[in-house]
Amino acid sequence: MLSLENVSKFYDTRWGRHRVLNHVSLRLERGENIGIVGRNGAGKSTMIRLIAGAERPTSGRIRRTMRVSWPLAFGGAFNTHLTGLDNLKFVARVYGVDYRPLIPFVEDFTELGEFFHEPVQHYSAGMMTRLAFALSMAIEFDCFLIDEALVVGDKRFHDRCHVELFEKRRNRAFILVTHDSNVIKLYCKRAAVLHEGRLLDFETVDAAYDFYEETLRVKPEVQE
Amino acid sequence: MQVDESPTFLQSLSIQRRVLHALLMRELVTRFGRENLGLLWVVGEPMLFTLGVATLWSLAGISHGGHLPVIAFAVTGYSSVLMWRNSATKCADGIRSNQNLLYHRAVQPIDVLLTRIALEVAGATGSFIILSSFFVFIDWMKPPVDPTQVLEGWLMLAWFGGSLALLLGGGCAFSDLVHRLWHPTAYLLFPLSGAAFMVDWLPAKFQQAVLLLPMVHGVELLRQGFFGAAVRTHYDIGYMASFCAVLTLSGLYVVREATRRIDF
């Protein structure tokens, strides 16, 4: 189970406190999934960082009784001076698993070849994304956090991600966050809209979709 | 891998242990791995400095209170500075430069800081041991009279450096000023830290003032151990320990507060 209870998040800005999330609550059981749509600046990535545990909420509570991943395919958590292999070792050590059995999968999925032993700073954007995704898959989680990760990459990468995530791991929980409501329609059983700091839950994905499409027509109140 | 909802104390301990191990291995590879000669420079840099200072002092004909051997004086002095200054400097931007690692929930700011402190303490200790052994071996300086006192002084300096590092590392999450002000402060503290003088050489009223600085006590104790009866030292380890204890507690508190307010 993963739950957010009345979570609010403020950031200090030069013109005062800026509220990004306003009493957001959410509950996700094992095997469930939810798509969260919101326009640019709605607080989607903030929400993902809070759920991942990279930041703490200003108020409210986040509870996790299942293993929640770091944001999927998130390349920022790399150390760019290290090689792909060293990054795998680091991640494996942090999560307390042996890295050796994971090497074949990562090598195969990333198709990095010799670059697996090169510092990540020499990688192309595509290589980095493949490594990031492979590392997220190499560690076992009950719930994946997906922050628009599947939008990037070429078709081959896209298809392979699809297989790994939505076929091989279809019994896992996930939270997919995006500004593209079509993606949500494709993958999610449930949907919510992040709008003006609030998380609005909807009965059906279609209802969320319609509401979101409507909000896109209106000029946002708060500019980032 | 455990689920991280309210882990028990023992679970927390094991999580912390593996995170520290992961961070340590990572920093070792980054810093000392591959192309750069990192490990060599841990010793090489203080060695060059020590030799430079010793040469300058010899050329200038500074007698240094009469009869203290210049090399031993420079080694003990500069190594002490490295000991308290490096962990603080490395931690002053430690959280920021490792911020992305915090995406892995098990990695906490305190882990990042502890790793850096451990590495700096190890590096400074290694360089001190290698440098002293080398100079003793080529007979440019004598081995310490009382190694126990040397060790005590060294550990006190490590404690001071580590606790200062926690405070600065946590403080940087509140304001960039901490990082910016630390560098000039470190430079100002260097000449006052006892690295280049013995307290006994100073006029009485300066002695009192300079003994307010905790690291001076550590350096004095270290030199007491090195030179024995050849020097008259002034130190109060009780004072230094109290200072460090307060610094440690404030450091831990500030790091905890910093953890709560880290924003990306």
Q: Is residue B19 part of a domain?
A: yes
Query: Model's pTM, two decimal places?
Result: 0.88
Residues of the domain holding B82: 9-260
Which of B5, B22, B260 is opposite residue A94, by nearest beta carbon?
B22
* CB spacing of A97 vs B262 below 8 angstroms: no
Q: Look at residue B2 and tell me if it is in a domain.
A: no
Task: Determine the Cα–Cα distance for residues A158 and A211; give it in Å rounded to an integer.
Answer: 28
- Mind telling me how many Å the CA of B94 is from chain A's nearest CA? 14
pLDDT score, position A78: 78
Closest CA to A179 of A199, A162, A193, A190: A193
pLDDT, one tens digit per residue, over B62-82 is 655 556 788 888 889 989 998
CA distance to A70, A97, A104, B24, per residue, from A101 (Å)? 21, 9, 7, 22
- Give me the residue spans of the domains in chain A: 1-66+173-218
The structure tokens 């006892």 sit at B194
Angle at Cα A189 formed by Cα A183 and Cα A194, nearest 5°?
Answer: 65
HSE value, Cβ hemisphere, 13 Å, CA-based, for A11:
14
- pLDDT tier for residue B2 given thresholds of 50, 70 and 90: very low
Give the contacts of B252 (CB within 8 A, at least 6 positions apart).
B110, B166
**Residue, of A16 and B159, whose pLDDT is higher:** B159
Q: Is B124 exposed, middle or buried (0-12, 13-18, 19+ CB in 10 A)?
A: buried
Q: Are B84 and B155 in contact (CB under 8 A)?
A: no
Superfamily of segment(s) A1-66+173-218? P-loop containing nucleotide triphosphate hydrolases (3.40.50.300)
Strand order, beta sheet including A16-28: A16-28, A2-13, A59-64
pLDDT in tens, B20-58: 999 999 888 887 765 566 677 777 777 787 778 777 877
Distance, CA of A3 to CA of A26 (rounded, Å): 5
Please tell me the predicted confidence (pLDDT) of residue A210. Answer: 86
Q: Which residues pair with A201 in a beta bridge?
A: A192
Per-residue pLDDT of A178-189, as tens digits, reads: 888 888 888 888
- Whether B168 is in a domain gets the answer yes
Question: Residue B4 domain-assigned?
Answer: no
pLDDT at residue B35, as a whole number: 56
What mean pLDDT is reported for chain A? Answer: 87
The pLDDT tens digits of the residues spanning A29-52 come to 999 999 999 888 888 888 999 999
**Percentages (nearest 5) of helix, strand, coil residues in chain A:** 40, 30, 30
Rounded to an integer, the average pLDDT of B174-202 is 90
Indicate yes or no: CB of A97 within 8 angstroms of CB of B1. Answer: yes
Q: With a cut of 60, say whether residue A224 has pLDDT above it.
A: no
Reported ipTM:
0.86
- Burial zone of B43 (CB within 10 Å; 0-12 exposed, 13-18 middle, 19+ buried): middle
What pLDDT is recorded for position A223? 47
Checking if the pLDDT of A162 tops 90, the result is no
Query: B3 falls in which pLDDT band (50, 70, 90)?
Result: very low
| Encoded amino acid at A12, one letter | D
Read out DSSP for A23-85?
EEEEEE-TT-EEEEE--TTSSHHHHHHHHHTSS--SEEEEEESS-EEEETT-GGGS-TTSBHH
Q: pLDDT by residue (tens digit) across A118-149?
A: 999 999 888 888 898 899 899 989 999 988 75
Residues of A with CB under 8 A from a CB of B: 11-12, 49, 52-56, 63-68, 70-71, 74, 76-79, 81-82, 86, 89-91, 93-97, 139-140
Distances (CA, A) of B205 to A99, B77, B88, B209, B239: 61, 22, 29, 7, 18
Other Cβ atoms within 10 Å of B227 Cβ, number: 22
**Contact (CB, 8 A) for B168 and B182:** yes
Query: Which residue type occupies A207?
Result: A
Instruction: Assess if residue B1 is contained within a domain.
Output: no
**pLDDT digits 0-9 by tens, B90-120:** 998 888 888 888 889 999 999 999 999 998 8
Count of structural domains within chain B: 1
Contacts of A208 (CB under 8 A, 6+ apart): A35, A37, A181, A184, A191, A192, A193, A200, A202
Amino acid present at B227: F
Residues of A whose CB is below 8 A from B19: 93-94
Percent of the residues in chain A that have a pLDDT greater than 70, as a whole number: 94
* Element spanning A16, H or E: strand A16-28
Percent of chain B with pLDDT over 70: 92
Average pLDDT over residues B162-179: 91
Report the half-sphere exposure of B106 (CA within 13 A, side-chain side): 28
Name the residue of chain B whose CA is nearest to A76's CA: B100
Min CA distance, A163 vs chain B (Å)? 25
- B166 assigned to some structural domain: yes
Contact A181, A213 (CB under 8 A): yes
